[in-house]
Amino acid sequence: MESHTVEHKKSFGKEVIISLVAFANSEGGSVIVGVDDNNRPCGLEVGPETVQRYLNEIKVATYPQLIPKAYLEQRGGKQVLVFEINEFPVKPVAYKNRYYKRVHNSNHLLTLDEIVDLQQQSLSLSFDAYPSRATMADLDAKLIEQFFGRVNRRGRVALRDDLLTNLVKLKLIREGKVTFAAELLFGTPDCAIRIGRFKSEATIIDDNVVRAPLLLAVEEALTFIKKHINLSYHFDGSLERKERWQYPLEALRELLLNAVVHRDYKSASDIVIKIFDDRIVFTNPGKLYGKLRVTDLERDDYVSSLRNRLLAEAFYLTGDIERYGTGFVRIREFLSDYPEISLKVEEMGDFFKVALVHTPHVTPPITPHVERLLVLCEKPAGREDLQGELGIKDRKYFYEAYLKPALKAGLLELTIPEKPRSKLQQYRLSEAGRQWLENSKR
């Protein structure tokens, strides 16, 4: 059966060479000559010099030149010729100046951007390390000094020299020229972050275009997002009230950094963030880089590929990025306290899209302890009265087994929320608690 690593051909021709090129630009694979479209061996007449002639044709038609392994074998009583090629170390490989990749069970021409990406990966180059048209005069010297201060306070590296020397140390200045990374971090980039608050796909309430050095753009974008998501307060029995944002701010920051650091800056498109009532969506130009796939991000041991190494290093040194390749691990950790939010990741054309989506509220399971407590709180009651009614002497046990779970589930609320430790404090059913009690009586 044909797949992303296996191709069948009835006879030798240019399509065999194209498949070998596509495999070499992908993960390697085999082309089996002498098998028809129905996966049935039809056989192949091969003379003493035929295999070597085929190998010479492959070598002449490809650049860099491919020399696959070739051997004859018997399948279903028929002789077939097998060509095997490994992933080529120097990519991309061309067939007569055209470049191909393997996608599922077919060959596809590479786009210009994909050709550049493959070349950079192959040579361990980073797009943001190339020289830009900017000069030192175009960079914000005060912002650079602030950046060095953040780096030194973080302690991951010491930058004690003058401004220019430090930039050279971090490879933000190379051979006397400002890199794209330096222009993006400290200059005014051509790209932007577009953020909108939507009531529906066709109805926009508010929007903002953030066009600033990346070190400032992340904070400016996060400020706009916070303006348009909900903030609530709750009490868990401690002295102070707790803030709870509609989405964990740490996860939002991580998604912003992911979009800024990993986007494809060769693209003229902007990062787009859409805020709806029930979801927030981040879209940035540039699919996942290298061999990374969407399904890989679901694992905690995935290995990240860096399209923009200098940007990643800069945000790592400031502490905005903890470790390379852990962004989605951290996002899942931040979402662990938000069971009502699901994380959705996908690639759409040449774009990468991540959404945090609110799912319908599901009331957590109510324990028998909480059930007994809710029945007693149909009218407001104090802690001592409740413990007495339940026959519980241990105050800590009452709090951990009865009161805390009911408060956390939002089924009980405080009568004096601004003074949670007041001696006059009582507990009463919340709207959700009253609804539960009504349902339980039916």
> CATH number, domain at 375?
1.10.10.10
Q: Are residues 207 and 322 in the same domain?
A: yes
Cβ pair 294, 347 in contact under 8 A:
yes
Q: Are residues 200 and 297 in the same domain?
A: yes
Cβ pair 185, 172 in contact under 8 A:
yes
Across 24-48, b (16+ Cβ under 10 Å) vs e yields bbbebbbbbbbbeeeeebbbbebee
- pLDDT tens digits, residue range 289-338? 888 889 999 888 888 888 899 999 999 999 998 776 788 999 999 998 88
Q: Are residues 206 and 99 in the same domain?
A: no
Q: Are residues 42 and 91 in the same domain?
A: yes
- Identify the pLDDT of residue 305: 81
In a domain, 197, yes or no: yes
Please count the other Cβ atoms lying within 10 Å of the Cβ belonging to residue 248: 19
In a domain, 130, yes or no: no
Q: Strands 203-210, 193-200: parallel, antiparallel or unpaired by DSSP?
A: antiparallel
CA distance 201 to 156: 43
CA-closest candidate to residue 132, choices 87, 91, 172, 90: 172
Please, which pLDDT band fits residue 361 given cuts at 50, 70 and 90? low
Q: Are residues 415 and 293 in the same domain?
A: no
Q: Are residues 238 and 335 in the same domain?
A: yes
3 state SS of 438: helix
Q: Are residues 335 and 398 in the same domain?
A: no
Q: Are residues 323 and 207 in the same domain?
A: yes
Please count the other Cβ atoms lying within 10 Å of the Cβ belonging to residue 355: 18
In a domain, 123, yes or no: no
- Identify the pLDDT of residue 438: 82
- Identify the pLDDT of residue 95: 95
Question: Percentage of the chain with pLDDT > 90?
Answer: 65
CA distance 125 to 409: 51
CATH at residue 226: 3.30.565.60
41: DSSP letter: B
CA distance 54 to 12: 8
- pLDDT tens digits, residue range 102-131? 998 999 999 888 888 888 777 667 889 889
Which residue segment(s) compose the domain that 382 sits in?
368-441
Please count the other Cβ atoms lying within 10 Å of the Cβ belonging to residue 397: 12
Q: Are residues 74 and 22 in the same domain?
A: yes
In a domain, 122, yes or no: no
* Sheet strands (E) in 219-339: 231-234, 242-245, 271-275, 279-285
Cβ pair 280, 253 in contact under 8 A:
no
Q: Are residues 106 and 237 in the same domain?
A: no
In a domain, 119, yes or no: no
Among 340, 358, 376, residue at a domain's last position:
358
Q: Are residues 197 and 345 in the same domain?
A: yes
Total count of domains within the chain: 3
CA distance 344 to 347: 11
Q: Which range, 21-25, 237-241, 436-440, has the best average confidence (pLDDT)? A: 21-25
